[in-house]
Homo-oligomer: A and B are copies of this chain.
C-alpha cells in the first residue's frame, strides 16, 4: 500500500490527467493500432518523472531488474502478459533459458532474477538460469536471506544452439544488458528466439536515438490529446565526439547548452513556471554512465569547461572523447515525506504489469545528477493503473498511475521504433 504522496495538486499535469482520462478510448485505440505496425519490446522498466507541470519518461531499460519490487498482487498480471507474449512469439515453447547479468552479486538483483524466473515458470515454461559469465564453470547455487536461492548453470553453446546441460530452450530471455557488446556465445543463434534481440544491448543503444523516437511518438500522442507535446517529453539536443582539449568543440557545445536552456526558459515562461530550468548532459552511448553533468546557467557552463579540461568528466573508455546528449532536466516533484519519489513502470509485451516508487533515502538525492543515491522501493497499490472515472484530477492514485502507464507505454513504443531503426536484419523485410 502506498501512503499518501505529496504531489502538486494543481497545474498542467492535472489538466493533462483530465485530458488523458477523457481520451482514454482514443489512447488505447492508438496504442492498439501502433502495435499492429510495431512489435513491442519484450519487457521494459520505464522511469517516469512528474514535475507537476510536465511528465516524461527519463530512462527506458530493456533489460529491467527490480522485478522483486512488484507486489504479489501484480504477479498475476505479469504472468498473464507473459503467457500472451509467449503465445504470440513461440506457442510451441516448452523451455525458457534466462540469462542474467554476469556479476550476479547483489541480493536484490538475485531476488529480481528469481522473480522473473517465477513469472515464466507460472506462465507454464520450464525455466532455467544460464550464465554467460566465464567465471561460472559449474552449476552454482547462490543463496540469500529468507532461504531463497537460485541455481546458475554455465551455458553450453553448440554450433547452432545455446542451452544448459540437458536443457534445450526454444526461447532465450536476456536480462543482461550486454554493456560490453554481445559476446560471441550469443551470436549466430538463428534457431532459437533471443529476446530482446542483441541490438537492444546497451553497447548498441544511443540515448539520442531513443530521445528522437520518444519525441516523435510524444508529438503524435500530444496531437491526439490536443495538448502541447512538451508536457510529455523533454527537449534535447546532441553534440558529437566531444573531447576535452578541443576548444572549437567546446564553444559549439556551450552554444548548444545555452540554446537549449533558452528554449526551456521560454517554455517555463509560457506556463508561468517559477522553477529554475536545467539541462542534463549524458553520454550518448547507453553503456556509459548516465549523467555527466547538470547545467543551470552560464556560470555552470564555465565550471563544466574546467572540469572537462581537467579530464574529470570524460567517461568514454579511452577517457578522451564521447558523444553527448543534452537533455532538458525534468524535476521529480512527488515526495514521500521529505524524500523524492520517482515512479518506475514495468511492462511485459504491450501491457503495463505493475510499478513502484523509487524513494530516495538521501536528502537532495533524486535531484538530477545524484549518481549513486540510495533508493528504497515502494510498490504502487495493486490494480492501481485502472482509471477511476469521475474523480477530480490530481486526487486519484489510480488515475495518476494510469497516466504514468500511458507515458511508460510511450517510452515502450519509442523503444520499438528505436530497435526497428537499428535492426541489422531490417533490410530483409524491405
Contacts and interface: CB of A to CB of B under 8 A. Distances in A.
Interface of A: 24-29, 32-33, 35-36, 72-73, 75-77, 79-81, 83-84, 86-87, 91-94, 121-126, 350-351, 382-383, 385-387, 389
Nearest to A352: B80
Contacts of A29: 91-94, 124
A386 B124 contact: no
Interface centre among A24, A84, A94 (most CB of B within 10 A): A84
9 contacts: A25-B126, A28-B125, A32-B93, A32-B124, A33-B92, A36-B91, A73-B382, A76-B385, A83-B351
B383 A72 contact: yes
A28 B85 CA distance: 13
B77 A77 contact: yes
A83 B402 CA distance: 15
Contact of A75 (B92, B126, B383): B383
Contacts of A26: 94
A124 B76 contact: no
Contact of A77 (B76, B94, B387): B76
Contacts of A94: 25-26, 29
Contacts of A27: 124
B84 A84 contact: yes
B83 A80 contact: no
A121 B387 CA distance: 10
A386 B79 contact: yes
A75 B386 contact: yes
A349 to B, nearest CB: 9
A392 to B, nearest CB: 18
A24 B122 CA distance: 8
A38 to B, nearest CB: 13
Interface centre among A27, A79, A92, A124 (most CB of B within 10 A): A124
Contacts of A382: 73, 76, 382
A386 B73 CA distance: 11
A29 to B, nearest CB: 6
Contacts of A87: 32, 35, 350
Contacts of A84: 84, 351
Given A73-B73, A92-B33, A121 B351 contact: no
A323 to B, nearest CB: 38
A79 B125 CA distance: 24
B386 A122 contact: yes
A340 to B, nearest CB: 27
A141 to B, nearest CB: 16
B32 A92 contact: yes
Contacts of A25: 94, 124-126
A416 B337 CA distance: 54
A28 B77 contact: no
Contact of A124 (B28, B83, B92, B124): B28
Contacts of A83: 28, 351
A382 B51 CA distance: 34
A402 to B, nearest CB: 9
Contacts of A77: 76-77, 80
Given A28-B124, A84-B351, 11 more contacts: A26-B94, A27-B124, A32-B124, A35-B91, A72-B383, A75-B383, A77-B80, A80-B80, A80-B81, A121-B389, A122-B387
Nearest to A388: B122
Contacts of A24: 124
A351 B77 CA distance: 11
